[in-house]
Amino acid sequence: MGETLTTQLLTSFLPADVVALIDTHILDPQSPVQAVKRTAVAQARRSADVVLPVLQPLVDRALALLAEHQGALDMLVPLAVLLATLVVLNWVRRIILWWTRLAFRAVFWAAFAALAAWVVNRGVLVSARDAAVLGAKIVGYMAVLKDVWLDEYKRYEGQEASGRWDDYAARRSSSSRVLNAQAR
């Protein structure tokens, strides 16, 4: 029953020749994969039969000790959950950092290879002239951005110095007059 369901699922997802290959070499009871599986399951059962009598008294004592100290257990479980959460979050942080570094290195080396290909394709002198023109355009654009930023900053400072600050001071003095009148 289990193998026929597996075969039906495989048939719905894979081509017929691949399903026949899997059925012959993996799912067949005489296949090497099934022989290794039977050996592994038998070894696991024998190991469990040997280890279980040794570990059973230890597990029973540990459960009895936990039952006696339920208050400590109530405090230790949230701490263990917090510790496990922090460990997992640290793993996630490290994985994200690794992939980010890998991505930045790949981008850097791709840009380096593109620059080298550009220089080889165009020639050193023409590439230097193109780089100078590009640099000049970037510097000009940055100068325009600086001017816009300074104009906006001066406009903001002017608004703060004139109208808005006066409105704030007027509201503050009127509210202090109201508080003084209520206090009398």
> Crossing angle of helices 32-68/70-122, nearest 10°?
140
Asked if residue 61 has pLDDT above 70, the reply is yes
Q: Residue 103: its pLDDT value, please?
A: 98
Looking at residue 57, what is its pLDDT? 93
Please, which pLDDT band fits residue 124 given cuts at 50, 70 and 90?
very high
Residue 152: the pLDDT is 93
Listed in sequence order, the DSSP H helices in 123-161 are 124-159
Distance between CA atoms of residues 141 and 148, nearest Å: 11
- The answer, as to whether pTM is greater than 0.75, is no
Residue with tokens 């540990």: 62
